[in-house]
Amino acid sequence: MNVNQVRRCALYARLSVTKEESVSITRQLRSCRKYAEARGWEVVGEFIDDGVSATASRPEDRKGWTALLSTDGFDAVIIWKVDRLARRVLDFLHADETLQQRGAGLVAVEDPIDMTSPQGRAFAVMLAVFGEMEAEAIRARVRAARAQLLKDGRWVGGGVAYGYRSAANPDGPGRVLVKDAERIRWLTEAVRMALRGGAVNAIAKWLTDAGAPLPGGAKRKAGNVTWNRQTVDQLLRNPILAGMTTHNPGRGKGGKRVDPFAVVRDENGNPVVDESLAVITADEFAQLQHILDSRDSPQARKRSDRKTTSPFLSRVALCDACDVYMCRGTNQQRPIIYCPRCKQTASRTTLDPYLVQRLLSERGGEPLSAATVQYCWEAASADELARREVLLSQLESLRIRRGVVGRYFDEDRVLLRWRAKQLPTGTCQTATADLPL
């Protein structure tokens, strides 16, 4: 790309935290517009990813960047700085390669990069390296600060476990956790029921029938208190029950389940216990985890209690956080897919129709087995395995990332990529016995 010949360009801006005024989306776009205006370039579109971390997401997985790549008619993409596009070197190089393949180049307002020469490309890679180093330095500072707070017995922020609340630290700055007088009795009884052999579903029903207050932000149905199995299971796995604190209170990275035994320990390797927060002993907590784990697998249920679900998405969708296939199952008698590691779920009631709509609208006219995707789909009729084969013939990847618990269907959770070039795969037969399930 010769920057002196560019006439049409697209603008891209990204921000992790919207309160960062120094690099706000508005400021980034304003600087990019001025850059384009000074060179007489025509702006054909502006694309943003607000509240999106460059460390936690690749450019191709972001809604704004994906929309930019689906637009035609530009010769360059203007960004404010290299780290607005990526904070990992490989992510930056992959994004730049994607632009080069379509004959476009990358321009940064604050970073004087020229991607047309080997020297310029080397300088751009160096900037990406420094961006990655800066991101790692930030993570190191955050980890160090968190470790010191935990060592001092202070609350590090985030969600507060059910049965507890944060209060001013009586011995110094910051805040600490204390028992919540209104909810701790419900938590204590739920734990005792579980230790006596009570099923998680039974405990959830008891909490619902007794009108126990829900955790903050939990969903209510028709004005009534409704507990579910997942909520109760999370409460019973929190090491705070024994007065212990995890290294990273709350959910793990990408929503992965926190290891209940990965807790803060002293110099001798023993868990640090705050007796004022405990409702059971450490031994009882270990016993409780053993009870829960022995019932955790759906296969542990009686066959008569299992509900058959559609194989349409069997071994098709990957959990974006764990990189493992999501399994089919049910939640409160509704079909879902779930990650066997981090336990995130996605409702099949809304996910399946969404995928079908996109398949037929975006790929329906693609050739498949001397016909089209649309024809093969309709020929499959109600054969879920045959329809699964049609979907797989068009898919490059399907990943599901964790969303906010209790929200309705969020299409941003679905990371869907079609195959770049359709190749003949299979036939439009309804018999698909050879498919891997």
Domains of the chain: 8-138 (3.40.50.1390), 185-296 (3.90.1750.20), 303-418 (no CATH)
Q: What is the pLDDT of residues 116-150, one digit of tens each?
A: 556 666 766 676 666 667 767 776 776 776 667 66
Does the pLDDT of residue 251 top 50, yes or no? no
Main-chain phi, psi angles of 83, to 5 degrees: -70, -10
* pLDDT for the residue 416: 93
State the Cα–Cα distance between residues 174 and 201, nearest whole angstrom: 38
Give the whole-angstrom CA distance, residue 39 versus residue 34. 9
In this predicted structure, what is the pLDDT of residue 300? 45
- Residue 47 pLDDT greater than 90, yes or no: yes
| Residue 434: per-residue pLDDT | 40
Q: Which tens digits make up the pLDDT trace of 196-209?
A: 988 898 999 999 99
pLDDT in tens, 393-409: 999 999 999 876 555 77
| Range of weakest confidence among 83-87, 243-247, 313-317 | 243-247
In percent, the amount of the chain with pLDDT more than 90 equals 33
What is the reported pLDDT for 115?
62
Burial of residue 211 (number of CB atoms within 10 Å: 0-12, 13-18, 19+): exposed
Concatenated DSSP letters for 229-281? Answer: HHHHHHHHT-GGGGT--BSS-SS-GGGPPPPTT-B-B-TTSPBP--TTT-SS-
Residue with tokens 């609208």: 361
Q: Tens of pLDDT along 291-307?
A: 888 765 454 444 444 55
Contacts of 410 (CB under 8 A, 6+ apart): 403, 404
What is the longest distance spanned by two Cα atoms in the chain?
A: 76
pLDDT tens digits along 9-28: 999 999 986 555 557 899 99
Does position 92 have pLDDT exceeding 80, yes or no?
yes
Structure-model confidence comparison of residues 231 and 17, the more confident one: 231
Q: pLDDT tens digit string along 147-188?
A: 676 666 676 666 788 999 888 887 777 788 889 999 999 999
pLDDT at 208: 92
Tell me the pLDDT tens digit for each residue of 319-363.
998 899 999 888 877 889 999 888 888 989 999 999 999 999 999
